[in-house]
Amino acid sequence: MGGINRVEDVAERIKVELEGKRYLLLLDNVKGNLVLSRIGIPQNIDGSKIVLTTRLGHICPSIMDQNVKVEKLSPDEAWNMFKNVLNCPNLSDNPNIKRFMHLVVKWCDGLPLMIRMTASAFKQRDTEESWSDGYKNLKKWLQRGDDESKEMYKSLSFCREYLDNDCQKNCFYYSALDDDGEWMRVTGRNVLERLKSVSLVEEGKHGKYVKLHKVIRQVALYNLRASTEHEYLVKASEALQKPPDVENWGKKEWISLVDNKLETLPDLPDCSLLSTLFLQKNSTLKIIPPKFFEKMEKLLVLDLHCTGITEIPLSLSWLKRLKVLYLNGCTSLAELPPEIGELQDLEVLDIRGSGVKDLPDQTKGLSRLRRLLLSFTSSGDEVKNQAAEFNRNVISKISDLKELVIDVESQQHLWNGMLNAIIENVHSWTKLATFQLCFLDGVVVDIKQVKDDTLKLCIPEEATLGSFVGKLDDFDSASFQVFIGCQISSYPRIPGFWKFKSYVKYCSGEGQQLRVSKLLAKAGALELVDHNDLEHLYSSPSGLNGIQGCLIESCNKIRRIVDCNITEDSPILLNLGLGPRVLPRLVDLILLDLPGLTSIWSDDSLEWPSLERLQVRGCPRLDKLPFSQQNAMKLRSIETEKDWWQALQWQTQEVKERFLPYHTDR
CB-count burial class (<10 Å; 0-12, 13-18, 19+) for 187 = exposed
Contact 84, 73 (CB under 8 A): no
Kindly list the structural domains of the chain, giving each domain's residue range(s) and its CATH number in brackets, ordered by start: 7-63 (no CATH), 75-136 (no CATH), 151-224 (1.10.10), 230-449 (3.80.10.10)
Q: What is the dihedral of CA 392, 395, 398, 400, to 10 degrees?
A: -120
Predicted confidence at residue 389, as pLDDT, reads 56
Contact 339, 360 (CB under 8 A): no
Q: What is the longest distance spanned by two Cα atoms in the chain?
A: 94
Q: In whole angstroms, what is the distance from residue 250 CA to residue 233 CA?
A: 10
Predicted confidence at residue 127, as pLDDT, reads 81
Predicted confidence at residue 255, as pLDDT, reads 95
Q: What is the CA radius of gyration of the chain?
A: 32
Count of C-beta atoms within a 10 Å radius of residue 567: 7
Predicted confidence at residue 566, as pLDDT, reads 43
Predicted confidence at residue 333, as pLDDT, reads 97
Predicted confidence at residue 423, as pLDDT, reads 58
Low-confidence stretches of the chain (pLDDT < 70) are 1-5, 44-45, 55-63, 139-170, 172-194, 197-199, 204-209, 224-230, 377-393, 396, 410-430, 441-454, 460, 463-478, 487-491, 496-499, 511-515, 538-543, 563-581
Q: Which DSSP state fits 324?
A: E
Predicted confidence at residue 225, as pLDDT, reads 67
- Percent of the chain, pLDDT > 90? 33
Per-residue pLDDT tens over the stretch 310-322:
999 999 999 999 9
